Structure 1
Amino acid sequence: MAEIKLHKNGTYLCLLENFYPDVIKIDWKEKNGKTVLESLQGNTMKTKDTYMKYTWLTVPEKSMDKEHKCIVKHEKNKGRVDQEIIFHSVNKELTPINSRKGSLKDENETLRLQAMNTSAYYTYILLLLKSVIYSIIITYFLLGRPALCDLKGFAPWVHFSSLAIVTKRSTEDIENLPF
């Protein structure tokens, strides 16, 4: 809208993604016209295993009421037929800024997204809290409870080491042992 009011022209943008190989030709024409229009194109960019490219057409105010098409020539087009992407008139697609219906729709969508995000946040917090409580309970039962049998005074390593000492000493020394 601002571009149309300020510069008296409009811009169509065509983004082509997921094509391979990277050799591609893009032209712009009026919908029922034969003349190729002057347009600008970005560089072909590699994205993972495929490529993407964008092109844009700036139309003067006198051509904004006409439909335009982006013509894509690529070897992977079905039947080797050029693919045509139709862009409707800039003037037909504009919605007045003061439109209450459009703003209510956007407002409802924003509220719905906000409610979903809030719900997801509280669900995450609840699950995290449950996990912490569960971990505390399990830790208490594994480490905090007394053992099933009384281990006071039971130290098997002491008895075994004492036994080893007893077998190596004489009977006179046994009477002098500290236990």
Structure 2
Amino acid sequence: MSFQTMLAYGFSQEIPIQTPVSITMYKGTARLQCHFKDVSENFDNTVIHWYQQKEKREPVRMLYISSGTTIVENSFQRNRYMVQKLSNQKICILIIKNIGPDDAATYYCTLSTVSGYYYEVFGSGTKLIVSDKGNSKPENSEILQTKHKDQLLYVCLIENFYPEVIRVQWVDGADKEVTKNVVKGDVWKSTNDKYSVSTWLTLPVNMTNKNYFCKYDHESQENFKLPIQDIVFVYTLPTTILLNTPHGPVFSCLLGGCTILMFNKIFLSYVTDYLMHRAAHLVYLVLLLKSSMYYVIVLFFIYRTRTPAKLPGKKT
């Protein structure tokens, strides 16, 4: 289970939201915010921890703040880290001074709670990228639509951004995240060291679509929303095959080559991978069948060579 989604079993504490989702810088001071909007207790009395997780390693606790005192772990330089608490906003800020290459990692805030036993809820995370490249906001973002029977499929496509870290959600008019009938795609590398991502939302045809948005947070552009009513409508072609994914039926394609998917790169990529896997599977079966046939033929000839032929006998 990833730390972004870690929740203590049996508790409904929401995941603390960290901003920005990433920071790209070469030197200077980084400020990482963690918002504990769901905390109902006295924020001044809460114990907050900060963890550092380097690539392919386990998270390591850097420090924690309790009763206004910050305790830094011995493996970290005390003079480089500060923590601020904004009690009225329920925000905790980690300040990292004199950024260097060794600081490249993902940082998580956690809230310690004692309710019968001790547990921690990890935040959404902020990735610190040590580079002088800077960031690039998405070159294109749009919502596309297609229809299958009594359902509408909305595809939020966000293209060509850097770095690759992005938080994409479907939200309603109250800015509450929608998780039902949502499929989130993985970020893929597009062109010129930039990245793209897409996510799907399926709704019944008779459901109003005016209160749904595709919302994304990126280092270059936070809290950006795309309303569904501004979608680009896509002509729905007659379909003969419903292509199923591990998440259930997602889209339809034509028997002659999935022409309906040309409007979306991730769909086309998915179908290409799907067909490649199917083709590889069929080739494997054919080769296996051929090898089995050859095996039977070889056994037959071995049997014939080792068994002397019976000559017709003379009748007496």
- What range describes the TM-score normalised by the shorter chain of this pair? 0.3 to 0.5
Structure whose alpha-carbon radius of gyration is higher: 1
More helix by share: 1
TM-score between the two structures when normalised by the length of structure 2: 0.25
Higher relative strand content: 2
TM-score (norm 1): 0.42
